[in-house]
Amino acid sequence: SSEVLEAIENVIEGVLKSLAQKKAPVLTLANRSDWRNIEFKDSVGLQMIPHSITRQIRSDCPSSAPRFALMLKILSMIYKMVQSNTYATKRDIYYSDTLLFGSQSIVDNIINDISCMLQIPRRSLHILSTTKGFVAGNLSYTEEDGTKVNCTCSATAVSVPSNVQGIRNLISHAKFILVVEKDATFQRLLDDDFCTKLSPCIMITGRGIPDLNTRLLVRKLWDVFQIPIFTLMDADPHGVEIMCIYKYGSVSMSFEAHHLTVPSIKWLGLLPSDLQRLNIHKDVLIPFTKQDQNKLASIQKRPYIACQPLWKRELEIMAASKLKAEIQVLTSLSSDYLSRVYLPNKLQFGGWI
Protein backbone atom coordinates (compact mmCIF):
# COMPACT_ATOMS: atom_id res chain seq x y z
CA SER A 1 0.00 0.00 0.00
CA SER A 2 2.90 2.40 0.65
CA GLU A 3 3.96 1.91 -3.00
CA VAL A 4 0.47 2.86 -4.19
CA LEU A 5 0.35 5.95 -1.96
CA GLU A 6 3.81 6.99 -3.13
CA ALA A 7 2.86 6.58 -6.81
CA ILE A 8 -0.23 8.79 -6.34
CA GLU A 9 1.81 11.37 -4.36
CA ASN A 10 4.32 11.54 -7.24
CA VAL A 11 1.52 12.32 -9.71
CA ILE A 12 0.09 15.07 -7.46
CA GLU A 13 3.58 16.46 -6.86
CA GLY A 14 3.99 16.77 -10.64
CA VAL A 15 0.69 18.69 -10.85
CA LEU A 16 1.75 21.06 -8.04
CA LYS A 17 5.17 21.68 -9.61
CA SER A 18 3.51 22.65 -12.91
CA LEU A 19 1.17 25.04 -11.09
CA ALA A 20 4.09 26.57 -9.17
CA GLN A 21 5.82 27.25 -12.50
CA LYS A 22 2.58 28.73 -13.86
CA LYS A 23 2.28 25.89 -16.37
CA ALA A 24 -0.86 23.90 -17.11
CA PRO A 25 -0.60 20.48 -15.42
CA VAL A 26 -0.60 17.42 -17.67
CA LEU A 27 -1.10 13.70 -16.95
CA THR A 28 0.90 11.39 -19.24
CA LEU A 29 0.02 7.75 -19.81
CA ALA A 30 0.68 4.99 -22.33
CA ASN A 31 -1.86 4.84 -25.14
CA ARG A 32 -3.77 1.65 -24.30
CA SER A 33 -5.57 1.39 -27.64
CA ASP A 34 -2.54 1.66 -29.93
CA TRP A 35 -1.32 -1.63 -31.44
CA ARG A 36 2.13 -0.03 -31.90
CA ASN A 37 2.47 -0.20 -28.09
CA ILE A 38 1.85 -3.93 -28.07
CA GLU A 39 4.23 -6.81 -28.60
CA PHE A 40 3.21 -10.45 -28.87
CA LYS A 41 5.10 -12.97 -26.78
CA ASP A 42 4.22 -16.64 -27.03
CA SER A 43 4.67 -17.15 -23.29
CA VAL A 44 2.60 -14.13 -22.19
CA GLY A 45 0.31 -13.05 -25.01
CA LEU A 46 -0.21 -9.39 -25.83
CA GLN A 47 1.88 -7.15 -23.60
CA MET A 48 2.69 -3.47 -23.55
CA ILE A 49 6.22 -2.53 -24.63
CA PRO A 50 8.35 -0.70 -22.03
CA HIS A 51 8.78 2.60 -23.92
CA SER A 52 5.36 2.99 -25.40
CA ILE A 53 3.72 5.84 -27.29
CA THR A 54 2.08 8.08 -24.70
CA ARG A 55 -0.86 10.44 -24.75
CA GLN A 56 -1.41 13.49 -22.61
CA ILE A 57 -4.47 14.51 -20.67
CA ARG A 58 -4.14 18.27 -20.42
CA SER A 59 -5.80 20.57 -17.91
CA ASP A 60 -5.77 23.58 -20.29
CA CYS A 61 -7.55 21.96 -23.22
CA PRO A 62 -11.39 22.14 -23.26
CA SER A 63 -11.74 18.61 -24.66
CA SER A 64 -9.53 16.92 -22.03
CA ALA A 65 -9.88 19.20 -18.95
CA PRO A 66 -12.99 17.35 -17.62
CA ARG A 67 -11.16 14.01 -17.90
CA PHE A 68 -8.12 15.52 -16.14
CA ALA A 69 -10.37 16.62 -13.26
CA LEU A 70 -12.11 13.23 -13.03
CA MET A 71 -8.76 11.43 -12.92
CA LEU A 72 -7.65 13.57 -9.97
CA LYS A 73 -11.00 13.00 -8.25
CA ILE A 74 -10.72 9.20 -8.59
CA LEU A 75 -7.03 9.31 -7.57
CA SER A 76 -8.06 11.08 -4.34
CA MET A 77 -10.74 8.41 -3.70
CA ILE A 78 -8.19 5.61 -4.27
CA TYR A 79 -5.71 7.36 -1.95
CA LYS A 80 -8.28 7.51 0.88
CA MET A 81 -9.28 3.84 0.38
CA VAL A 82 -5.68 2.60 0.43
CA GLN A 83 -4.96 4.70 3.55
CA SER A 84 -8.02 3.39 5.40
CA ASN A 85 -7.69 -0.16 3.96
CA THR A 86 -11.23 -0.08 2.56
CA TYR A 87 -12.45 -1.32 -0.83
CA ALA A 88 -15.04 -0.15 -3.35
CA THR A 89 -16.40 -1.51 -6.62
CA LYS A 90 -16.29 0.53 -9.83
CA ARG A 91 -20.05 0.77 -9.42
CA ASP A 92 -19.68 2.28 -5.91
CA ILE A 93 -17.37 4.93 -7.33
CA TYR A 94 -19.81 5.82 -10.11
CA TYR A 95 -22.77 6.03 -7.71
CA SER A 96 -20.84 8.22 -5.27
CA ASP A 97 -21.48 11.09 -7.76
CA THR A 98 -23.42 10.07 -10.87
CA LEU A 99 -23.84 13.69 -12.02
CA LEU A 100 -20.12 14.30 -11.91
CA PHE A 101 -19.05 11.06 -13.63
CA GLY A 102 -21.82 10.93 -16.22
CA SER A 103 -21.65 7.19 -16.94
CA GLN A 104 -20.25 3.93 -15.60
CA SER A 105 -18.11 3.41 -18.73
CA ILE A 106 -16.31 6.75 -18.12
CA VAL A 107 -15.42 5.57 -14.58
CA ASP A 108 -14.29 2.13 -15.84
CA ASN A 109 -12.08 3.71 -18.48
CA ILE A 110 -10.49 6.21 -16.09
CA ILE A 111 -9.73 3.46 -13.56
CA ASN A 112 -7.94 1.45 -16.28
CA ASP A 113 -6.05 4.61 -17.31
CA ILE A 114 -4.98 5.24 -13.71
CA SER A 115 -3.89 1.61 -13.29
CA CYS A 116 -1.85 1.89 -16.51
CA MET A 117 -0.38 5.31 -15.58
CA LEU A 118 0.72 4.18 -12.10
CA GLN A 119 1.69 0.72 -13.42
CA ILE A 120 -0.19 -0.84 -10.52
CA PRO A 121 -2.79 -3.63 -10.93
CA ARG A 122 -6.35 -2.53 -10.29
CA ARG A 123 -6.77 -4.81 -7.24
CA SER A 124 -3.88 -3.02 -5.50
CA LEU A 125 -5.79 0.25 -5.98
CA HIS A 126 -8.50 -1.25 -3.71
CA ILE A 127 -11.02 -1.24 -6.54
CA LEU A 128 -13.05 -4.41 -7.01
CA SER A 129 -14.93 -5.03 -10.20
CA THR A 130 -18.39 -6.53 -10.06
CA THR A 131 -18.33 -10.16 -11.08
CA LYS A 132 -20.58 -11.67 -13.73
CA GLY A 133 -18.85 -15.03 -14.20
CA PHE A 134 -19.79 -18.43 -12.76
CA VAL A 135 -17.75 -21.45 -11.73
CA ALA A 136 -18.90 -25.03 -11.07
CA GLY A 137 -17.47 -28.52 -10.69
CA ASN A 138 -14.70 -30.14 -8.70
CA LEU A 139 -13.33 -27.18 -6.76
CA SER A 140 -13.34 -25.83 -3.23
CA TYR A 141 -11.54 -22.83 -1.75
CA THR A 142 -11.57 -20.35 1.13
CA GLU A 143 -12.41 -16.71 0.46
CA GLU A 144 -10.40 -13.85 1.96
CA ASP A 145 -12.92 -13.37 4.79
CA GLY A 146 -12.73 -17.07 5.74
CA THR A 147 -15.91 -18.21 3.95
CA LYS A 148 -15.51 -21.77 2.66
CA VAL A 149 -16.87 -22.30 -0.86
CA ASN A 150 -17.54 -25.74 -2.29
CA CYS A 151 -18.48 -25.79 -5.98
CA THR A 152 -18.50 -29.60 -6.08
CA CYS A 153 -21.70 -30.42 -4.24
CA SER A 154 -23.77 -27.63 -5.72
CA ALA A 155 -26.21 -28.26 -8.54
CA THR A 156 -26.12 -24.55 -9.27
CA ALA A 157 -23.05 -22.53 -10.15
CA VAL A 158 -21.13 -20.30 -7.75
CA SER A 159 -20.34 -16.67 -8.62
CA VAL A 160 -16.69 -16.02 -9.38
CA PRO A 161 -15.23 -14.35 -6.24
CA SER A 162 -14.89 -10.56 -6.35
CA ASN A 163 -11.39 -10.75 -4.84
CA VAL A 164 -9.69 -13.61 -6.70
CA GLN A 165 -6.25 -12.66 -5.32
CA GLY A 166 -7.54 -13.26 -1.78
CA ILE A 167 -8.78 -16.85 -2.22
CA ARG A 168 -6.68 -19.65 -0.71
CA ASN A 169 -6.70 -23.39 0.11
CA LEU A 170 -7.77 -24.30 -3.44
CA ILE A 171 -8.52 -28.02 -3.68
CA SER A 172 -9.54 -29.93 -6.80
CA HIS A 173 -9.28 -33.39 -8.34
CA ALA A 174 -10.29 -32.03 -11.75
CA LYS A 175 -8.63 -33.50 -14.84
CA PHE A 176 -9.27 -30.39 -16.94
CA ILE A 177 -10.94 -26.96 -16.98
CA LEU A 178 -13.63 -26.08 -19.53
CA VAL A 179 -14.14 -22.38 -20.26
CA VAL A 180 -17.60 -21.90 -21.77
CA GLU A 181 -18.51 -18.77 -23.73
CA LYS A 182 -22.20 -18.50 -22.92
CA ASP A 183 -24.30 -18.85 -19.82
CA ALA A 184 -27.00 -20.91 -21.62
CA THR A 185 -24.49 -23.60 -22.70
CA PHE A 186 -22.88 -23.56 -19.24
CA GLN A 187 -26.27 -24.10 -17.55
CA ARG A 188 -27.16 -26.88 -20.01
CA LEU A 189 -23.91 -28.75 -19.22
CA LEU A 190 -24.60 -28.24 -15.52
CA ASP A 191 -28.10 -29.73 -15.92
CA ASP A 192 -26.59 -32.70 -17.78
CA ASP A 193 -24.20 -33.21 -14.82
CA PHE A 194 -21.24 -32.91 -17.19
CA CYS A 195 -18.76 -32.00 -14.39
CA THR A 196 -18.91 -35.51 -12.91
CA LYS A 197 -20.09 -37.82 -15.71
CA LEU A 198 -17.00 -37.93 -17.93
CA SER A 199 -14.27 -37.22 -15.37
CA PRO A 200 -14.09 -34.59 -12.64
CA CYS A 201 -13.61 -31.14 -14.15
CA ILE A 202 -14.07 -27.43 -13.43
CA MET A 203 -16.37 -25.34 -15.64
CA ILE A 204 -16.19 -21.56 -15.89
CA THR A 205 -18.16 -19.02 -17.89
CA GLY A 206 -17.57 -15.28 -18.23
CA ARG A 207 -21.06 -15.07 -19.81
CA GLY A 208 -19.76 -13.50 -23.01
CA ILE A 209 -16.78 -11.15 -22.94
CA PRO A 210 -15.14 -12.09 -19.62
CA ASP A 211 -14.78 -9.59 -16.79
CA LEU A 212 -11.45 -9.15 -15.02
CA ASN A 213 -12.30 -11.49 -12.12
CA THR A 214 -13.23 -14.39 -14.41
CA ARG A 215 -9.95 -13.99 -16.29
CA LEU A 216 -8.02 -13.79 -13.01
CA LEU A 217 -9.70 -16.98 -11.78
CA VAL A 218 -8.87 -18.92 -14.97
CA ARG A 219 -5.25 -17.77 -14.59
CA LYS A 220 -5.17 -18.63 -10.87
CA LEU A 221 -6.54 -22.15 -11.50
CA TRP A 222 -3.89 -22.63 -14.18
CA ASP A 223 -1.12 -21.46 -11.82
CA VAL A 224 -2.31 -23.70 -8.97
CA PHE A 225 -3.33 -26.92 -10.76
CA GLN A 226 -1.46 -26.86 -14.12
CA ILE A 227 -4.18 -28.97 -15.80
CA PRO A 228 -5.35 -28.62 -19.43
CA ILE A 229 -7.72 -25.73 -20.14
CA PHE A 230 -10.14 -26.02 -23.07
CA THR A 231 -12.54 -23.45 -24.50
CA LEU A 232 -16.03 -24.09 -25.82
CA MET A 233 -17.14 -21.15 -27.98
CA ASP A 234 -19.58 -20.41 -30.79
CA ALA A 235 -18.07 -20.94 -34.25
CA ASP A 236 -18.20 -17.23 -35.08
CA PRO A 237 -15.79 -14.25 -34.99
CA HIS A 238 -17.20 -13.11 -31.63
CA GLY A 239 -16.51 -16.51 -30.04
CA VAL A 240 -12.96 -16.53 -31.43
CA GLU A 241 -12.41 -13.00 -30.07
CA ILE A 242 -13.53 -14.06 -26.57
CA MET A 243 -11.26 -17.13 -26.66
CA CYS A 244 -8.31 -14.92 -27.69
CA ILE A 245 -8.98 -12.63 -24.69
CA TYR A 246 -8.63 -15.60 -22.30
CA LYS A 247 -5.57 -16.96 -24.12
CA TYR A 248 -3.64 -13.89 -25.25
CA GLY A 249 -5.30 -10.94 -23.49
CA SER A 250 -6.68 -7.72 -24.89
CA VAL A 251 -4.97 -4.60 -26.19
CA SER A 252 -6.59 -2.32 -23.60
CA MET A 253 -5.40 -4.48 -20.66
CA SER A 254 -2.02 -5.45 -22.13
CA PHE A 255 -0.23 -3.65 -19.29
CA GLU A 256 -1.60 -6.39 -16.97
CA ALA A 257 -1.00 -9.36 -19.29
CA HIS A 258 1.28 -11.19 -16.83
CA HIS A 259 -1.60 -11.68 -14.36
CA LEU A 260 -4.37 -12.38 -16.86
CA THR A 261 -3.41 -14.48 -19.86
CA VAL A 262 -3.18 -18.28 -20.15
CA PRO A 263 -1.32 -18.99 -23.43
CA SER A 264 -1.66 -22.77 -22.96
CA ILE A 265 -5.46 -22.65 -23.53
CA LYS A 266 -6.68 -25.00 -26.29
CA TRP A 267 -9.62 -24.48 -28.68
CA LEU A 268 -11.89 -27.50 -28.20
CA GLY A 269 -14.94 -26.33 -30.11
CA LEU A 270 -17.07 -25.44 -31.83
CA LEU A 271 -14.58 -25.59 -34.71
CA PRO A 272 -15.69 -24.43 -38.17
CA SER A 273 -14.34 -27.76 -39.50
CA ASP A 274 -16.69 -29.60 -37.08
CA LEU A 275 -19.67 -28.20 -38.96
CA GLN A 276 -18.54 -29.97 -42.15
CA ARG A 277 -17.40 -33.11 -40.28
CA LEU A 278 -20.73 -33.51 -38.47
CA ASN A 279 -22.75 -32.68 -41.59
CA ILE A 280 -24.56 -29.83 -39.87
CA HIS A 281 -27.37 -28.71 -42.18
CA LYS A 282 -26.87 -25.29 -43.81
CA ASP A 283 -30.39 -24.28 -42.73
CA VAL A 284 -29.35 -24.06 -39.05
CA LEU A 285 -26.27 -21.93 -39.77
CA ILE A 286 -26.36 -18.11 -39.73
CA PRO A 287 -25.03 -15.99 -42.63
CA PHE A 288 -22.23 -13.51 -41.83
CA THR A 289 -23.05 -9.82 -41.40
CA LYS A 290 -20.67 -7.12 -42.65
CA GLN A 291 -19.61 -6.67 -39.02
CA ASP A 292 -18.73 -10.39 -38.76
CA GLN A 293 -16.59 -10.14 -41.90
CA ASN A 294 -14.72 -7.10 -40.56
CA LYS A 295 -14.20 -8.70 -37.13
CA LEU A 296 -12.85 -11.93 -38.68
CA ALA A 297 -10.54 -10.02 -41.06
CA SER A 298 -9.11 -8.04 -38.12
CA ILE A 299 -8.55 -11.24 -36.04
CA GLN A 300 -6.78 -12.92 -39.00
CA LYS A 301 -4.26 -10.03 -39.09
CA ARG A 302 -3.32 -10.32 -35.41
CA PRO A 303 0.26 -11.37 -34.58
CA TYR A 304 -0.74 -14.47 -32.60
CA ILE A 305 -2.70 -16.09 -35.46
CA ALA A 306 0.52 -16.46 -37.48
CA CYS A 307 1.88 -18.72 -34.67
CA GLN A 308 -1.22 -20.94 -34.78
CA PRO A 309 -1.40 -22.59 -38.23
CA LEU A 310 -4.34 -24.82 -37.17
CA TRP A 311 -6.32 -21.83 -35.88
CA LYS A 312 -5.47 -19.98 -39.09
CA ARG A 313 -6.91 -22.88 -41.11
CA GLU A 314 -10.16 -22.86 -39.09
CA LEU A 315 -10.55 -19.10 -39.59
CA GLU A 316 -10.02 -19.59 -43.35
CA ILE A 317 -12.80 -22.21 -43.38
CA MET A 318 -15.08 -19.74 -41.58
CA ALA A 319 -14.16 -16.90 -43.95
CA ALA A 320 -14.75 -19.06 -47.03
CA SER A 321 -18.17 -20.32 -45.87
CA LYS A 322 -19.35 -16.87 -44.61
CA LEU A 323 -21.49 -18.85 -42.15
CA LYS A 324 -21.45 -18.93 -38.37
CA ALA A 325 -22.89 -21.34 -35.83
CA GLU A 326 -23.86 -21.21 -32.20
CA ILE A 327 -23.05 -24.22 -29.99
CA GLN A 328 -26.82 -24.81 -29.85
CA VAL A 329 -26.75 -26.06 -33.48
CA LEU A 330 -25.63 -29.41 -32.07
CA THR A 331 -29.15 -29.89 -30.69
CA SER A 332 -30.23 -30.30 -34.33
CA LEU A 333 -28.44 -33.70 -34.13
CA SER A 334 -29.97 -34.62 -30.74
CA SER A 335 -30.98 -32.72 -27.62
CA ASP A 336 -28.04 -33.91 -25.48
CA TYR A 337 -25.51 -34.34 -28.31
CA LEU A 338 -23.12 -31.77 -26.77
CA SER A 339 -22.66 -33.50 -23.41
CA ARG A 340 -23.29 -37.12 -24.50
CA VAL A 341 -21.34 -37.34 -27.79
CA TYR A 342 -19.52 -34.18 -28.86
CA LEU A 343 -17.49 -33.29 -25.75
CA PRO A 344 -16.66 -36.89 -24.65
CA ASN A 345 -15.37 -37.73 -28.15
CA LYS A 346 -13.35 -34.53 -28.43
CA LEU A 347 -11.76 -35.00 -24.99
CA GLN A 348 -11.08 -38.70 -25.51
CA PHE A 349 -9.61 -38.48 -29.00
CA GLY A 350 -7.79 -35.14 -28.72
CA GLY A 351 -10.06 -33.11 -30.96
CA TRP A 352 -8.66 -29.73 -29.88
CA ILE A 353 -6.19 -27.34 -31.50
Do residues 116 and 49 share a domain?
yes
pLDDT of res. 75:
93
Do residues 173 and 29 share a domain?
no
Last residue of a domain, one of 89, 107, 128: 128
Last residue of a domain, one of 69, 100, 128: 128
Do residues 241 and 325 share a domain?
yes
Phi, psi (5° rounding) for residue 330? -65, -20
Last residue of a domain, one of 83, 111, 128: 128
> Catalytic: 95?
yes
Do residues 178 and 303 share a domain?
yes
Domain count across the chain? 2
pLDDT of res. 155:
67
pLDDT of res. 134:
93
Do residues 59 and 150 share a domain?
no
Do residues 172 and 281 share a domain?
yes
Domain span holding position 47: 2-128
pLDDT of res. 120:
83
pLDDT of res. 224:
93
pLDDT of res. 266:
94
Q: State the catalytic residue, choosing from 95, 141, 248, 337.
A: 95
**Residues with pLDDT less than 70, the chain:** 33-35, 153-155, 252-257
pTM of the model: 0.78
pLDDT of res. 283:
82
